[in-house]
């Protein structure tokens, strides 16, 4: 009996050590963006003149106090429109190499102009924005100071991207732990990390690397929500978007498929990075899961129902204590969010 107990303890210690060996390396430092560009980008980020009717700024949807997400299942849209996807946090987007839930944009600079001209986000032709900014003597002077010329689409995008590169969080308890502070994680969160990076739960099969994302696209079988199926405004926005991407409208969000047209990518979305995740509920590309507990229950059940579901998912049979430990680990991924403020009028 005692021998069996000793063997069991040794086995579980072995597993914990194996899991710890697969913890990711610490998040590398990002090269700091040019401070003057980032400061100009901050002004643009909060400026409602970046939208057609002067009501929308980036910060209306990416709210600094909400970790630059918005706390809603589905994003609001340009007035009289509604968006059909969840607003992602902008924390650590400076590290990413593909943007949007479907990865259709490949740099922060390329991404930045999209919401401006998108009819369901800010609805302003970027060329018209250039014309608006160059007759504003303050902006004109600032663009000259920072970029040596009047504003252009390229420099507007560069300034916004520089600002976004300042939005990093790399001081979470988990980061401190990875940097060597063995007391930074509570025992429960450490147990959660071992489960997360261990073989059985296998979260790190996709949430790998320092950002906890492989940057790839997977179909988890996250189902459509009633709101998406029923709300004509959200469906209209999605149908319009899909046609623009060269895909016939369908009764579901095809995710990555709209970009690659590969049947294997139907319903696949980019693995989200997880820093600050405790602050960015609701979860998934359509905000269909409200809490971290629901997310864990979803993975414990092996994901949702979809013929194209990733083979990396299967029922996990986690105990209640293991589920709670996973949630404690996910909560240890939050640190101090840099809160940018709008410039004084």
Place of tokens 């970027």: 126
Is the distance from CB of 103 to CB of 217 less than 8 angstroms? yes
| 25 token code pair | 């390396």
Torsion of CA 64, 57, 165, 89, to 10 degrees: 50
Phi, psi at 243, each rounded to 5°: -60, -40
Shortest Å, Cβ 5 to ligand HEC: 28
Q: Which is nearer to ligand HEC, 123 or 177 (CB)?
A: 123
Shortest Å, Cβ 286 to ligand HEC: 7
Is the distance from CB of 191 to CB of 15 less than 8 angstroms? no
Quick check: bond before 256 cis, omega within 30?
no
β pairing state of 269-270 and 217-218: antiparallel
Q: Which is nearer to ligand HEC, 85 or 234 (CB)?
A: 85
Shortest Å, Cβ 311 to ligand HEC: 8
What is the C-alpha to C-alpha distance for residues 90 and 210, in angstroms, rounded to an integer? 17
Q: Which is nearer to ligand HEC, 272 or 335 (CB)?
A: 272
Shortest Å, Cβ 298 to ligand HEC: 8
Q: Which is nearer to ligand HEC, 75 or 170 (CB)?
A: 75
Q: Which is nearer to ligand HEC, 178 or 204 (CB)?
A: 204
Q: Which is nearer to ligand HEC, 178 or 286 (CB)?
A: 286
Q: How far is CA 243 from CA 113, 120, 246, in A?
A: 20, 14, 5
Sequence-distant (≥ 6) Cβ neighbours of residue 291 within 8 angstroms? 281
What is the C-alpha to C-alpha distance for residues 28 and 234, in angstroms, rounded to an integer? 39
Sequence-distant (≥ 6) Cβ neighbours of residue 245 within 8 angstroms? 104, 258, 259
Q: Which is nearer to ligand HEC, 26 or 223 (CB)?
A: 223
| 296 token code pair | 């864990």
Shortest Å, Cβ 335 to ligand HEC: 16
Shortest Å, Cβ 4 to ligand HEC: 29
Shortest Å, Cβ 336 to ligand HEC: 19
Q: Which residues bind ligand HEC (CB under 6 A)?
A: 50, 56, 58, 60-62, 75-77, 83, 85, 87-88, 90, 93, 96, 99-101, 108, 111-112, 115-116, 121-122, 160, 164, 196, 201-203, 205-207, 218, 220, 222, 269, 271-272, 274, 277, 280, 283-285, 292, 295-296, 299, 310, 312-313, 326, 330
């Amino acid at each position: 009996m005692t021998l069996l107990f000793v063997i069991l303890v040794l086995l579980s210690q072995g597993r914990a050590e194996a899991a710890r060996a697969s913890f990711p390396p610490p998040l590398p430092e990002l090269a700091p963006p040019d401070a003057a560009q980032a400061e100009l980008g901050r002004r643009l980020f909060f400026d409602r003149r970046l939208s057609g009717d002067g009501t929308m700024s980036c910060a209306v949807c990416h709210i600094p106090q909400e970790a630059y997400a918005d706390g809603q299942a589905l994003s609001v849209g340009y007035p009289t429109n509604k968006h059909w996807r969840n607003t992602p946090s902008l924390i650590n987007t400076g590290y990413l190499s593909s943007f949007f839930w479907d990865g259709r944009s490949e740099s922060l600079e390329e991404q930045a102009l999209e919401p401006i001209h998108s009819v369901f986000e800010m609805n302003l032709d970027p060329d018209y924005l250039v014309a608006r900014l160059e007759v504003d003597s303050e902006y004109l002077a600032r663009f000259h100071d920072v970029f040596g010329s009047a504003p252009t689409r390229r420099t507007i995008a560069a300034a916004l991207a520089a600002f976004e590169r300042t939005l990093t969080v790399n001081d979470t308890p988990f980061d401190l732990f990875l940097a060597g502070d063995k007391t930074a994680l509570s025992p429960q969160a450490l147990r959660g990390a071992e489960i997360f990076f261990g073989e059985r739960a296998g979260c790190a099969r996709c949430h790998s690397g320092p950002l906890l994302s492989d940057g790839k696209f997977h179909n988890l079988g996250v189902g459509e929500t009633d709101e998406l199926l029923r709300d004509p405004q959200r469906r209209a926005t999605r149908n319009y978007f899909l046609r623009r991407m060269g895909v016939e409208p369908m009764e579901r969000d095809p995710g990555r498929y709209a970009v690659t047209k590969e049947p294997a990518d139907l319903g696949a979305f980019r693995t989200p990075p997880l820093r600050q995740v405790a602050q960015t509920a609701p979860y998934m590309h359509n905000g269909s899961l409200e809490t971290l507990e629901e997310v864990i229950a979803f993975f414990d059940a092996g994901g949702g129902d979809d013929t194209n579901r990733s083979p990396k998912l299967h029922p996990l049979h986690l105990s209640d204590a293991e589920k709670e430990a996973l949630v404690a680990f996910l909560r240890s991924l939050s640190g101090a969010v840099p809160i940018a403020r709008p410039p004084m009028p």
